[in-house]
Amino acid sequence: MPRSRAPAARDSGGEPRDTRDTRTSANVPASARGGADALRGPTGDPLLAAKFAIPAVPRTLVRRQRLLDQLTTGTAGPLTLITGPAGAGKTTLAASWVAEGTAPDPVVWLTAEHEDRAPGIFWSYVLEALRHHQVELPENPDRPGSAEFVEHSLLAGLASGLARRHRPVVFVLDGLDQIPVREVTSALDFVLSHAGPSLRLVVISRVDPLLPLHRYRAQGRICEIRSADLAFTRQEAAALLRGHGLESCEESVDALTARTGGWAAGLRLCALEMQRADDPNGFARSFAASQSAVADYLLAEVLDTQPEATRDLLMRSSILDRVHPDLANTLTGREDAEWILAGLTRAGAFVESVAGTRWCRFQPLFAEVLRTHLRHHHPGLEPRLRRRAAAWLAGHDRLTEALEQAAATEDWEWAAARVVDHLEIGRLLTGPEAQRLENCFAGMPRDLPGTASALVAAACAAAQYDLAGCRAHLDRAEEHIRTGQAQPCPETQLALSLLRLLSSPGTRDREGGCDAVHEADQTLDLAGHVPPARRVRHPEIEALRRYGLARGLLLTGRLGAARTAFAAAADGCTGATDVVRHHSLGQLALLESVHGELNEAEEHARFALATARNRSVPPARRSGIGHLALAAVALERGDLRGARHHLDLASECPDAEHDPVARTEMLVVRTRLALAQGRWRAALAVLAAPAVRPPTSAPWPSQRIALANSASQLARGDPAAAITALHEAGPDTSSHVIALARAHLASGDPDRALGLVPPPDDQRDAGIAQRVDILLIRAHAALLAKDTKTAHSTLGEALTAARPETLRGPFLDAGPWVRHLLELRPDTAHRHAWLTARPAAVNGTFRAGRLPVDGSPSAPLVVEQLSDRERQVLQHCAQVMSTEEIAEAMCLSVNTVKTHLRSIYRKLVVSRRGEAVRRARELSLLPPAVEQGAYREGGFGS
């Protein structure tokens, strides 16, 4: 379709423009007014004055200062090039630049068209444009006498005349791509080179003109504004919508910007459609290019202007997100796709190359229009093209893209077979393309016959934490294998065994061992039957095997072996298995928190969360276990606010309501939070709610729930119920034995309690938390037996063991007897002031108080005794004295005073003078007279 003769319609972003010249007729040359005195070109046709008009700026123009500044800077040199596809806003940008008065005066505008490609006609328009815009030259060159030829003397005279001007001329040449004539561009380069600084040429084109751009670039004499620069940013797109009265559509900006790629005309046409829509935001979300004016624009301005072979290639290739020349040849049956695609890329026809590759991609809206065009003109062709593309992509190691093409045609059997046969089953669960692969099979019927289909359905279920559904699909796959006549390939057997391992319910075998261990060994053995080259390409298989083994050990209660296995799984992960690393580190941190190794637990939990963020683990594959581990750490340190924060974050993760470990730990954390706040009724209510109870068929979840139930019953004052809860779960772990001993101690049976806990020399395998619990039981039993000396000594051992991890939880749970013992021994309280929210002893004076329960300490955990000099410096600070004044009053140097201040800050755990004075008042470190003095924060520097 030929381009419109009305230059004002070009690059307006979809808005009609008023092309009338706003100057009075008295100032317009006769040639511009038409009539009998209108000038004519060498062919005898009149020169059209509309081509000299500077296009009017749209009413809804978005002012784009970044591009205006580029233009202003660029016209300090000889050549400025603005290139981009149709509707990119090239002409509008230049016109708004001129309209603002930013451009140096005078500005000459010429809109070139295809009919002007003859050299004589083109240069006739150039000369008339100069006259039209009243640019006077010392000598007026003669007009061309022939349409096909221009005398060199004319070009030399024009260049000489421009060079002799005192003020430079900005010449805007819009549409040079319409004149792909070497004679014209060579002459233009000659004039530009010899006119000197008096000519500043601004070229607007859809493609790079036939000027020697490489030379201008090498000399640093060109400014280029490309399509990427012209693309609207999010802020500019939002301003465009506001300009169309769509202030309430802020939520649609991101979707529209992504869909249009920032294409100016597409955004403006969308805005016009949204103005007419009853639900503008709904339109933006469901926008269909084939139903809007965008389709007409692209068809008329881009597709219809291409040769038949190019249109056919574009339509057939539009089924792909990215197209390779060889793949395009496969789809079209041609051999010139690379040449055609390269030409389209150069022409800016909404086709761009993928940097560093032979691949190309289409602008999203343009691709939609092409697909609609394909379905309309060639019904039934699209599925055949997609199957052809799937086969080519699979044969070139691009299986994910091949599966997407197969899924679009619902060829599920082919797609599932490729996943299993190529050992891609693990990539459905981990790796950068896991979510994309799962999406391929979102529409596959889950009861589709066939072993491969059942295995893929099982993997998709496992990815969504539906382990029961996964096992059901695996049963179906095994039934197909039993009834089939052929022996399954090693890849099929390996996929089946791996998924069995990952979906293990955590049961034990007949000998009391872990089923997961047997399944993991079988998976490893089956992997040995797969060709080595294929195994090397899929490291996720071994990573998932290790993780499945660790999970099985955890669910069956073999915590020590599970910790080792999770550490091995995390260490063995590569970049392609970050999902496994993320989950393994979270589980490892959780087990460390259970053992009281809070420092390690916190480090591993934060590493797990950082892995998810920094390695781009998809949100749908992220686990809340890391947050639950941090919640457990916060609880053990008495930080209830931090525990509640991480519990809330964990509840937002996709595994919160599906994964048995996550559900169990969320239940435990909620219960412990309620108990820490003294709300035992709320704790029991959490445990009694059937909707939130996790599956308890595996030993470990049952044991964790029993521990929480026992603690709640003890808080209620019912030791018998606490003992019953533990016996029902089968107390066969050290934590259960300790909890049972605590319950017997609470019931008044210290002898039985002491008989349950191991002796001090037999605690090598117990964790820090368990050792501290045992020491507290022994201390409490000694206190009940009136053996205060042993109670003090044993409590001191417990505090010493807990201090490196800041493990407060066991002391908070033990009851008020811990505080009473500390009150009797201020020296012990002073050494272990870390235990309380406020220091138990300050400068040798014991401060009685309750252990922290709100998790928001306002005083330091450890306070060292202040020296006499430090006390004096602190008193002077409270009197609002500067550092120099304190030094003078105490006969010290300024540096010595600063040293004392730093020591005070360290001991009081503060960073500024005002905080130090306030903390000293809280701890009664200031004399009464100073206590009453006013301290103004920020009165002087620190």
| DSSP letter string, 491-544 | HHHHHHHHHHHHT----B-TTS-BHHHHHHHHHHHHHTTS-HHHHHT-THHHHH
Per-residue tokens: 796? 């001191």
Reported confidence tier of residue 35, pLDDT bands at 50, 70, 90: very low
- Which one, of 298, 237, 291, lies nearest residue 268 by Cα? 237
Q: What is the pLDDT of residue 293?
A: 54
Contact yes or no for 765/791 (Cβ under 8 A)? no
Q: Report the range out of 250-264, 347-361, 427-441 with the highest average pLDDT.
A: 427-441
In this predicted structure, the answer to whether residue 17 has a pLDDT above a threshold of 60 is: no
CA 683/CA 58 separation, integer angstroms: 66
What is the spatial order of strands in the sheet that 322-323 belongs to?
322-323, 360-362, 351-353
DSSP, residue by residue, 575-643: GGGHHHHHHHHHHHHHHHHHTT-HHHHHHHHHHHHHHHHHTT--GGG--SHHHHHHHHHHHHTT-HHHH
In this predicted structure, the answer to whether residue 301 has a pLDDT above a threshold of 70 is: no
Q: Any idea what the Cα angle at residue 765 is, between residues 763 and 770, rounded to 5°?
A: 65
In this predicted structure, the answer to whether residue 324 has a pLDDT above a threshold of 50 is: yes
Amino acid at 350: F
| Chain position carrying tokens 């004149």 | 179
Quick one: 286 exposed, middle or buried, by C-beta within 10 A (0-12, 13-18, 19+)?
exposed
Tell which wins on pLDDT, 510 or 795.
795
Reported confidence tier of residue 728, pLDDT bands at 50, 70, 90: confident
In this predicted structure, the answer to whether residue 847 has a pLDDT above a threshold of 90 is: no
CA 474/CA 454 separation, integer angstroms: 7
Reported confidence tier of residue 690, pLDDT bands at 50, 70, 90: low
Q: Tell me the pLDDT tens digit for each residue of 57-94.
A: 877 888 888 998 888 888 888 999 998 877 788 898 99
In this predicted structure, the answer to whether residue 939 has a pLDDT above a threshold of 90 is: no
Instruction: Tell me the pTM.
Output: 0.65
CA of 370: how far to CAs of 299, 302, 318, 805, 873, in Å?
9, 11, 6, 64, 79
DSSP state of 391: H
Q: What is the overall mean pLDDT for the chain?
A: 81
Contact yes or no for 165/198 (Cβ under 8 A)? yes
- Which one, of 569, 635, 580, 626, lies nearest residue 603 by Cα? 626
Q: Tell me the pLDDT tens digit for each residue of 48-61.
A: 888 898 888 877 88
Contact yes or no for 814/783 (Cβ under 8 A)? no
Burial letters for 791-828: b for 16+ Cβ neighbours within 10 Å, e otherwise? bbebbbbbbebbeebbbbbbbbbbeeebbebbeeebeb
Residues 6+ apart with CB under 8 A from 117: 178, 179, 180, 181, 184
CA 347/CA 120 separation, integer angstroms: 25
CA 593/CA 922 separation, integer angstroms: 33
Contact yes or no for 275/244 (Cβ under 8 A)? yes
In this predicted structure, the answer to whether residue 785 has a pLDDT above a threshold of 70 is: yes
Reported confidence tier of residue 741, pLDDT bands at 50, 70, 90: very high
In this predicted structure, the answer to whether residue 664 has a pLDDT above a threshold of 60 is: yes
Q: Tell me the pLDDT tens digit for each residue of 869-891.
A: 888 898 888 888 888 889 888 88
Three-class HEC string of 9-28: HCCCCCCCCCCCCCCCHHHC
Q: Tell me the pLDDT tens digit for each residue of 566-615.
A: 999 998 887 678 889 999 999 999 999 999 999 999 999 999 998 888 76
Burial letters for 746-757: b for 16+ Cβ neighbours within 10 Å, e otherwise? bbeebeebbebb
Lowest mean pLDDT: which of 311-325, 402-416, 471-485, 863-877? 863-877
Tell which wins on pLDDT, 513 or 206.
206
Per-residue tokens: 671? 């219960």
Q: CA-CA-CA-CA torsion for 169, 175, 179, 184, nearest 10 degrees? A: 10
Q: Which CATH class is domain 288-396?
A: mainly alpha
Reported confidence tier of residue 923, pLDDT bands at 50, 70, 90: low
Reported confidence tier of residue 761, pLDDT bands at 50, 70, 90: low
Q: What is the pLDDT of residue 284?
A: 65
Answer yes or no: same fold for 288-396 and 868-931. yes
CA 130/CA 172 separation, integer angstroms: 11
In this predicted structure, the answer to whether residue 845 has a pLDDT above a threshold of 60 is: no
What is the spatial order of strands in the sheet that 222-225 belongs to?
107-111, 169-174, 199-205, 79-83, 222-225
In this predicted structure, the answer to whether residue 121 has a pLDDT above a threshold of 70 is: yes
How large is the average pLDDT for residues 668-693?
84
In this predicted structure, the answer to whether residue 5 has a pLDDT above a threshold of 50 is: no
Domain 7-230, second-level architecture: 3-Layer(aba) Sandwich (3.40)
CA of 478: how far to CAs of 188, 472, 485, 912, in Å?
76, 10, 13, 69
Domain ranges of the chain: 7-230, 231-286, 288-396, 411-544, 733-843, 868-931
Phi, psi for residue 205 in degrees, rounded to 5: -155, 150
* Percent share of the chain, pLDDT over 90: 29
Lowest mean pLDDT: which of 472-481, 650-659, 786-795, 815-824? 815-824
Q: Any idea what the Cα angle at residue 456 is, between residues 451 and 461, rounded to 5°?
A: 125
- SS3 of residue 486 by DSSP: coil
* Domain covering 868-931 in this structure, CATH number: 1.10.10.10
Q: Any idea what the Cα angle at residue 267 is, between residues 265 and 271, rounded to 5°?
A: 115
Reported confidence tier of residue 853, pLDDT bands at 50, 70, 90: very low
